[in-house]
Amino acid sequence: MSIDMLTIPAQCVTQSRIEELDYNNIEFGKIFSDHMLVADYKDGAWQNPQILPYGPMDLSPATSALHYGQAIFEGMKAYRDANGDVLLFRPLDNFNRLNLSAERMCMPALPEDIFMQGLEQLLKLDAAWVPPTAGCALYLRPFMFATDNFIGVRPSDTYRFIIFSCPVGAYYGQPLKVAIEPNYVRSAEGGAGFAKAAGNYGAALLPARKMQEKGYHQLIWTDAKEHKYIEESGTMNVMFVMDGKLVTPPVSTTILKGITRNSVLTLARDFGYTVEERKVSVDEIVAAHKAGKLQEAFGTGTAATIAQIATIHYNGEDMDLPAIEEREISNRISAELDKIKTGQSPDPHNWVQRISL
Ligand SMILES: *Cc1c(COP(=O)(O)O)cnc(C)c1O
């Protein structure tokens, strides 16, 4: 089979489970669409991509991903436009980032065709699972993990790639109370913080839980050397508006290169705002707040697009930020991004890929 000509064989469900889905009341991450894409890497090549009914799989207890953590993932959303078509937002960027993560974790690159055609065919089959309701979407979870049944420490010789999906409701998260983390680190220079690796998430759960016990939704990571510079907010990139300028830390080996981050910065520049990608110190944030110049703070990521930050805690003090309604830059960009993703605004950067059903 030539990968170029690939049309992925599908074994379809005999009975869809779509009746389980209440479009008006979708719980995040609990109901999965009918089908999944599966491909396996062995003998030095990706083989046998196929679409199967969503369901459990057999795994040996010695599956190496479970022991040594060669596991990476992506997260993306498909939306429905006014004509009922299904739209993907920047899927090639997710594909490229998956392979960047794969390289860092010593895993094989996935061919573009398997990712892109897999997505397209899955979405055609499971189009009914893309909610028509405003603000809702079908969340897609591509991921790859090591499958050798072997408990010696070495890169696995075999891997599995899967894409499955689940409908998600509108993000009505309340504005976040976050706290700057003074002790734990998410990633260090030379580490794997830029990769979307499962282990990065595992190691972040305890620090996040401890912050939650102190009454904060999320933490803001600081650099591993001095805890002096801002990195990210939980599992989102983080941005500030100070004195009318949009400021965010530059991407590096420690910061994940968010697609939402890039989209927000691009639109901000389009709109004519001043954008600065540079180191942001905790001291600068505190000083800007004292001077009344810290106007906005928010996280960016696929799940929320823009998650507003209401309060930032540092060193025993809560800094309360201006009301969400007063935040010109983030509100304007958030609204425009939502419109682009759902086909209601022009798409000057060719971010949207339409799936013809
Ligand atoms: C996925 C992720 C983001 C956001 O990336 P998007 O492409 O915008 O969804 C930011 N930070 C971390 C640590 C992430 O894992």
Q: Is 69 in the pocket of ligand 1 (CB under 6 A)?
A: no
> With contact defined as beta carbons under 8 Å apart, do 140 and 119 qualify?
yes
pLDDT tens digits, residue range 313-356? 999 999 999 999 999 999 999 999 999 999 999 999 999 999 98
Task: Please indicate, yes or no, whether the overall pTM of this predicted structure exceeds 0.85.
Answer: yes
> With contact defined as beta carbons under 8 Å apart, do 177 and 311 qualify?
yes
Is residue 12's pLDDT more than 70?
yes
CA separation for the pair 227, 220 (Å, rounded):
11
Distance between Cα 351 and ligand 1 center (Å) = 17
Half-sphere exposure of 55 (CA within 13 A, CB side): 9
Provide the token pair at 199.
């282990």
Among 90, 146, 79, 132, which Cα is nearest to 115's?
90
CA separation for the pair 336, 324 (Å, rounded):
17
Average pLDDT of 42-69? 97
Q: What is the pLDDT of residue 57?
A: 95
DSSP codes, 48-65 = EEEEEES------TTBHH
> With contact defined as beta carbons under 8 Å apart, do 191 and 254 qualify?
yes
Instruction: Enumerate the domain spans of the chain.
Output: 5-168, 176-341
pLDDT tens digits, residue range 113-151? 999 999 999 999 999 999 988 889 999 999 999 999 999
Is residue 2's pLDDT more than 80?
no
> With contact defined as beta carbons under 8 Å apart, do 79 and 89 qualify?
yes
> With contact defined as beta carbons under 8 Å apart, do 219 and 208 qualify?
yes
Q: Is 177 in the pocket of ligand 1 (CB under 6 A)?
A: no
> With contact defined as beta carbons under 8 Å apart, do 71 and 197 qualify?
yes
Q: Is 261 in the pocket of ligand 1 (CB under 6 A)?
A: yes
Residue 70, burial from CB neighbour count under 10 angstroms (0-12, 13-18, 19+): buried
Q: Is 299 in the pocket of ligand 1 (CB under 6 A)?
A: no
CA separation for the pair 168, 28 (Å, rounded):
5
> With contact defined as beta carbons under 8 Å apart, do 282 and 222 qualify?
yes
Which atom of ligand 1 lies closest to the CA of 234? 13
- In sequence order, which residues have a C-beta less than 8 Å from that of residue 30 and are 6 or more positions away? 166
Helix%, strand%, coil% for the chain, nearest 5:
25, 30, 45
Q: Is 118 in the pocket of ligand 1 (CB under 6 A)?
A: no
Average pLDDT of 254-283? 98
Residue nearest to atom 10 of ligand 1 (CA): 236
Distance between Cα 8 and ligand 1 center (Å) = 29
Which atom of ligand 1 lies closest to the CA of 260? 8
Domain range 5-168, CATH class: alpha beta
Among 317, 307, 278, 311, which Cα is nearest to 294's?
311
Is residue 63's pLDDT more than 70?
yes
Is residue 228's pLDDT more than 50?
yes
Average pLDDT of 218-230? 97
Provide the token pair at 134.
């405003």
Q: Is 237 in the pocket of ligand 1 (CB under 6 A)?
A: yes
pLDDT tens digits, residue range 165-190? 999 988 767 899 999 999 999 999 99
For β-strands 245-248 and 275-277, DSSP reports them as parallel
Distance between Cα 95 and ligand 1 center (Å) = 14
Q: Is 263 in the pocket of ligand 1 (CB under 6 A)?
A: no
Q: Is 75 in the pocket of ligand 1 (CB under 6 A)?
A: yes
Distance between Cα 6 and ligand 1 center (Å) = 30
Backbone angles phi, psi at 144, to 5 degrees: -140, 140
Average pLDDT of 19-38? 90
Average pLDDT of 30-46? 97
Half-sphere exposure of 6 (CA within 13 A, CB side): 22
Helix (H) or strand (E) holding 211: helix 198-213
User: Which of 237, 262, 263 best tests ligand 1's pocket when mutated (most atoms within 8 Å of CB)?
Assistant: 237
Q: What is the pLDDT of residue 138?
A: 96
Residue 139, burial from CB neighbour count under 10 angstroms (0-12, 13-18, 19+): buried
User: Which of 92, 185, 187, 236 best tests ligand 1's pocket when mutated (most atoms within 8 Å of CB)?
Assistant: 236
CA separation for the pair 244, 240 (Å, rounded):
10
Provide the token pair at 272.
């004519």
Distance between Cα 301 and ligand 1 center (Å) = 5
Q: What is the pLDDT of residue 6?
A: 54
Q: What is the pLDDT of residue 266?
A: 98
Q: Is 258 in the pocket of ligand 1 (CB under 6 A)?
A: yes
Is residue 3's pLDDT more than 60?
no
Provide the token pair at 186.
């998410």
Q: Is 249 in the pocket of ligand 1 (CB under 6 A)?
A: no
Q: What is the CATH number of domain 176-341?
A: 3.20.10.10
Is the alpha carbon torsion for 281, 269, 80, 90 positive or negative?
negative
Distance between Cα 216 and ligand 1 center (Å) = 20
Q: What is the pLDDT of residue 134?
A: 84
Q: Is 186 in the pocket of ligand 1 (CB under 6 A)?
A: no
Is residue 237's pLDDT more than 80?
yes
Helix (H) or strand (E) holding 230: strand 230-233
